[in-house]
Structures are given as structure tokens and as C-alpha cells.
Amino acid sequence: MNNLLKGKKGIIFGALNDKSIAWQVALKCHEQGAEFVLTNAPIAMRMGEINNLSAACGNAQIIPCDVSKNEDMENLIDKSMEILGGKIDFILHSVGMSMNIRKGNVYTNLDYKFMHDTLDISAMSFHRLLATCYKKDAINDWGSVVALTYIAAQRIFPDYSEMADAKSLLESISRSFGYQYGKHKKVRINTISQSPTKTTAGSGVKGFGDFFDYAEALSPLGNANAEQCAEYCVAMFSDFTRMVTMQNLFHDGGFSFTGFSPDVFNVGKDAE
């Protein structure tokens, strides 16, 4: 199957390097015939790796956008429509950042300026994106918007800290805007709750290796990797999922609904 997204135009946020989930999504969308622009924070682009992704995706244009800035978001949506020659069919929001986690601040003692930035960049940016598109009527009927999230929004993973609060807000915005956008413009909005994945953002969380191994052991299918997540995103952007909206969709090999597996007793045993 090679043409699931033929004729579709999109915007892909968050490809930092080839480990990024968004990087894999871009490759899969290209493979499936989509045309899209790539975007990331100006500071992330200085590393220049996104140029390699652009080259692998038929020279997809790159537009800088700090998701916490209204003017950047406006510019991104205007330029994307200009470059792609019309309205957008799909968007991937794959953005997360927590300075408290980076600095090792524990949940019971957060820096609130950092927390503000975390909520703004990782969650409110989704509202900013959707509101900007809504105002400009930038998304075609039956368009599809997906944001990536994590199960720490529902269950406690202590080291995930304030990002759990950001993901709860992100999922709530997806439902609230999903109602409005569905009702008024037939656009669907969902979050995909992905397994722990070895990326720059993922590996930045303390104890990541442990809960990666634990999730791998607990999930009947094992952890879903970035490429598999990309395939799910393609399915969500395609016309085959047109009636799915306002959902938090677990893409985690069954982790979210598994209570126990004896395999978890073997986690870490190899290292002993």
C-alpha cells in the first residue's frame, strides 16, 4: 500500500533528529504520497539535521515556529497554505519540553516559571495551533489533527513529573477542540498515547530505561517503536479513520489494559 495519503497536504511539528517520532512520521507520510511542510523551534534547527529529513521527503519546505509564540504560529499556517497551495489535510503535533525535568527539579518543588513554559509549549501550543487554523479556516473538511501523548496523563509515573499535567491538559484540549472543530468544520482531533520510545525527549526523563524495560515486559505485544507509531499516525491521517475524533488512542502494545504479567519479575535481572 503506497498511496494512503496521495493528494493530502500536511504540517509536521517536532522532527529534531532521526530518533524523533515526528521524523519517522514524515518519512512514512512521504512514502504514502503526502506533501507537507516541516517545522520546529528556531533553536532546534540550528543543529541542521532537519535538512536531511527535508531532502529525504522530496525537499519538503522547513518553516521555523516556536509553538509558544502566536506570531510564529500565524506565520506558519499562512506560509504552509501558500507553499502547499491550499488548505491543510493533516497535522502532527509532536512537541514536548520541561525545563523542570531537565534541571532535575522534583515534582514537590517545581520552578513555576519553568512550569508555565512546560504547559505552554507542551499543551497550550495545541490550542494555539488549532485556534489559529480555525480562525484562518486552514483545514479541509475531514482533515485530521494528531498530538502525541503519554499514559502518565492517567496513571502516575513519578519521574514524569509536571509533564503528566501537561499531557492531561493536552488530551483535554484535544477533546474540547475536537467537539468544536468537528461540529463546525468536520475536522477530527485525537491524541495518540505512545509507548516509551528512545528519543531525545524520552531519554531525558529520569529512570527512562527502567520504565522502558518495565513497559516492554508488561505489554503483551511489547513496546511500540517510533516507526510503528508513524504508521498509526498515517492511518489516522488517512480517509479510513474519518469517524474517529476526540479520542485518546493507546498505541502501546496493550500496556494500558494489562494489569500484570510475570515477565515484569525478570526486568533488570540481566544486569545483576
Ligand X SMILES: NC(=O)c1ccc[n+]([C@@H]2O[C@H](COP(=O)([O-])OP(=O)(O)OC[C@H]3O[C@@H](n4cnc5c(N)ncnc54)[C@H](O)[C@@H]3O)[C@@H](O)[C@H]2O)c1
User: Residues in the site for ligand X, rule: CB under 6 A?
Assistant: 14, 16, 20-22, 40-41, 44, 66-68, 94-97, 121, 148-150, 194, 196-197, 199-202
Residue 217 identity:
A
Task: Return the C-alpha cell found at 258.
Answer: 494489562
Contact 240, 172 (CB under 8 A): no
Closer to ligand X by Cβ: residue 32 or 40: 40
Closer to ligand X by Cβ: residue 57 or 148: 148
Q: Give the separation between CA 55 and CA 240, rounded to whole angstroms.
A: 29
Closer to ligand X by Cβ: residue 54 or 140: 54
* Helix pair 49-56, 21-31: axis angle to 10 deg: 20
Least distance in angstroms from the C-beta of 6 to ligand X: 26
Least distance in angstroms from the C-beta of 7 to ligand X: 27
Least distance in angstroms from the C-beta of 186 to ligand X: 26
Least distance in angstroms from the C-beta of 59 to ligand X: 20
- Scanning the chain, the segments in alpha helix (DSSP H) are 21-31, 42-45, 49-56, 70-84, 99-103, 112-119, 125-136, 162-185, 200-203, 208-218, 226-237
Distances (CA, A) of 201 to 17, 20, 84, 99, 150: 11, 8, 29, 11, 12
Which of 164, 185, 150, 181 shows the shortest CA–CA distance to 246? 181
Contact 129, 92 (CB under 8 A): no
Closer to ligand X by Cβ: residue 73 or 139: 73
Closer to ligand X by Cβ: residue 88 or 164: 164
Closer to ligand X by Cβ: residue 97 or 124: 97
Least distance in angstroms from the C-beta of 14 to ligand X: 4
Query: In this chain, which residue has its C-beta nearest to ligand X?
Result: 202
Least distance in angstroms from the C-beta of 19 to ligand X: 6
